Structure 1
Amino acid sequence: MGKNDIAVKQWLSAKDRFADLFNMLIFGGSTVVHPQDLEDMEGEADIFVPDKAGGESGIKRYRDIVKRWGNTATFAVMAVENQDKIHYAMPVRNMIYDGLAYTSQMNQIWEQRSENREKMSDAEFLSRFRKGDHLHPVITAVLYYGTKPWDASLDIHGMLRLDDSSGKFRRIKEYIPNYRINLIDAERLERTELFRTDLQQIFGMLKYRGRKRELIRYINQHKDYFSNLDQETYRAARVFLNSEKQLKDIAGDEKEAIDMCKALEELYEEGMEKGMEKGIEKGEERLNQLIKRLLADSREEEISKVVGDREYRQRLYHDFQL
């Protein structure tokens, strides 16, 4: 996992933000998932899946963020997959992740039944799952924070070529189970004001990335928040803005607040200064080229006029196509 992935993962792993994200995804912003009801789960697991020959195949899975919602008896598994780039196979990838999560639950239930297996029916023993057993739901959100609009399929059916003139494949489609991903396209969210945490400010900020003046205006409109960021949020904001190299990596006390308003203004001013310096250098280069051309054409008397008369200089620039 790269440095940028870790920054976003750590920031979103905070229980209040995680709950806020799923409240928006599932409940339209209503507070149903509470931070105190969330429990961290391992995002990496090794799973052994039985095969027909009686052996087992090992599968390793990695999930970005996984939490348990609810108590030990009744709960749901909630997971987030962070994406900074479009993934055209995301429905298949997530289907595998969720399927393995259910397999993991079945394995745990089977292990808990080790002392009572002799009381199972043949069908239950073969299934490694009793008739009265139940799985806990698994809900995966795909948080996409890339700059390009998501143009990949949102479900398995969208990845299949099943439409034809005869209509036979459209009929087949009815018998193919579908799997849909829960996509959150952060930059293009319309109701960011429904978030209860700073997801509101950070996701709202993404609408202006790449447009420095508008971004600075937005940041200053929310100055109370952006002038007092913690290190974790600042790191994530740099990743979201694709500004890991431009915005300074401020190291120091983790408790020290960071003024992002000031950091962006300094970045903007630095860019303006560099632009002006570049413009001056280019202007001087063109002027030197013009003077050389005048000297080569034995037009020394015009050199003083070129230096002092801007309109005449621009006319010569055009004539000489400099």
Structure 2
Amino acid sequence: MGKNDVKINRWLSEKKRYADLFNGILFDGKQIIHAEELEPTDRKAEILLEEKTGKETAAERYRDIVMQWNQGMELAVLAVESQDKVHYAMPVRNMIYDGLTYKNQIDLMWEKHKAAEDKTTDAEYLSRYKKEDKLKPVITLVFYYGAEPWDGEKDIYGMLGLNDKYKEIDRMKKFVPNYHINLVDAARINDLEVFMTDLQLILGVLKYKNQKDEFIQYIHENQDYFSRVDKETYQVMRVFLNSEKQLKNVVREEDKEEIDMCKALEELYAEGIEQGIEQRNKELIMAKLSQGVSIDVVADFLDMSIEAVKEVVSGEFTE
């Protein structure tokens, strides 16, 4: 896990924000999950594999954030995997993580049965799972905060390359279980009003960061919040804006409990963050075109006009 993911995960792990994230994505902002119902749980997902020879091999993975959702009883496991770059194997990766989390539930229930000396049938003993046991659903959000839109597959079917060229594709799919990821493309969420905490405001920073005038206006409209930002939020904003060094140079108040980001963000843009964005777009355009991607597809990918992309290409070849 990179240091940026650590900062993002620490910030998202605040229970009110975590509940807000899941309420916004799962329930369109309806307040179903409450902070006091969440409890952090072990991030380690592991499985012990036993070969026919009796040799055991342990496989373990560490999830980014995992919390139990309880309302008098355990309702679900809510997990988040943070990504600053597209992970093209994410459907398989998440399927493994979720599978290991379900396996952990089975192991814990079996340990309780053993401790209570519960009677089991031969089939239950073989399964390490009693017939009446029930698992809690595991819901994982992939929180992607990268600069470019997510262009990876979102389910197993997409990774398999199954398409209509295969005559019996529909029949085959009946025997191939699919698995899809719950992608949160943080910079491209259309309706931020579904979030009720400062998550809404920080996601707004991501949404408008490539639009100088809209960004400055957004900061002014929410001046009460951005003039008193706590240290963890300040760190997250530096990551989201890809401006860790620049903001560190602009802000001189890191020793204070609250930081006034309004002036700092204006200075940041005045010092040329938009030039950095233009340079990144130029590099991305040329890379995509070199891969044979058409100009109209590149324009749609970057949310730019075709004319703007052509200007970048023309300027690149006349320099």
Considering the TM-score relative to the shorter chain, is it more than 0.5?
yes
How big is each residue's C-alpha offset from its partner over 1:279-318, in whole Å with a ceiling of 9 and x where there is no partner? xxxxxxxxxxxxxxxxxxxxxxxxxxxxxxxxxxxxxxxx
Q: Deviations over 1:240-296 (max 9, x none)?
A: 111112111758777621111111122234449x9xxxxxxxxxxxxxxxxxxxxxx
What RMSD, in angstroms, separates the aligned Cα atoms of the two structures? 2.3
Alpha-carbon shift at residue 213 of structure 1 (Å): 3.6
Secondary structure of the 1:216 match is helix
- Structure-1 residue corresponding to 2:268: 267
Checking the alignment, whether the CA contact within 8 Å between 2:144 and 2:184 is kept in structure 1 is yes
Gaps of 5+ in 1: 275-322
Q: After superposition, what is the alpha-carbon deviation per residue over 1:224-253, rounded to whole angstroms, capped at 9, x for unaligned?
A: 111110000010011111111211175877
**1:158–1:270 CA distance, 2 compared to 1 (3 A):** closer
Note the 1:1-322 alignment, pairs <5 A: 1-71=1-71, 73-115=73-115, 119-248=119-248, 256-271=257-272
Higher-Rg structure is 1
TM-score with structure 2 length normalisation? Answer: 0.79
1:153 match: secondary structure: coil
Deviation at 1:117, TM superposition (A): 6.2
Q: Secondary structure at the match of 1:31?
A: coil
Q: How many residues align?
A: 273
Shift in alpha-carbon separation, 1:271–1:177, aligned structure 2, 3 A: closer
| Sequence identity (%) | 54
Tell me which amino acid in the other structure corresponds to 1:225. Y
Residues 163 and 170 in structure 1, CA contact (< 8 A), matched pair in contact too: no
Contact (CA 8 Å) 1:106, 1:128: kept in 2 or not?
yes
TM-score of the pair, normalised by structure 1: 0.78
Q: Residues of 2 paired with 1:118 and 1:271: CA distance?
A: 68
Q: Is the 1:23–1:31 contact (alpha carbons within 8 Å) kept by the matching residues of 2?
A: yes
Q: CA deviation at 1:74?
A: 2.6
Please identify, of 1-10 and 222-231, the stretch whose mean Cα deviation from structure 2 is larger: 1-10
- The letter of the residue matching 2:143 is L
Q: 1:165 to 1:232 in 2, by over 3 A?
A: closer
Contact 1:65 1:79 in 2 (8 A): yes
Q: CA deviation at 1:44?
A: 2.7
Q: Per-residue CA shift, 1:122-174, capped at 9, x if unaligned?
A: 11111111111111111100011111111111111111122244512332112
For residues 70-108 of structure 1, give each alpha carbon's deviation from its aligned partner in whole angstroms, at most 9, with x where no partner exists: 057433110000111111110000000000001111111
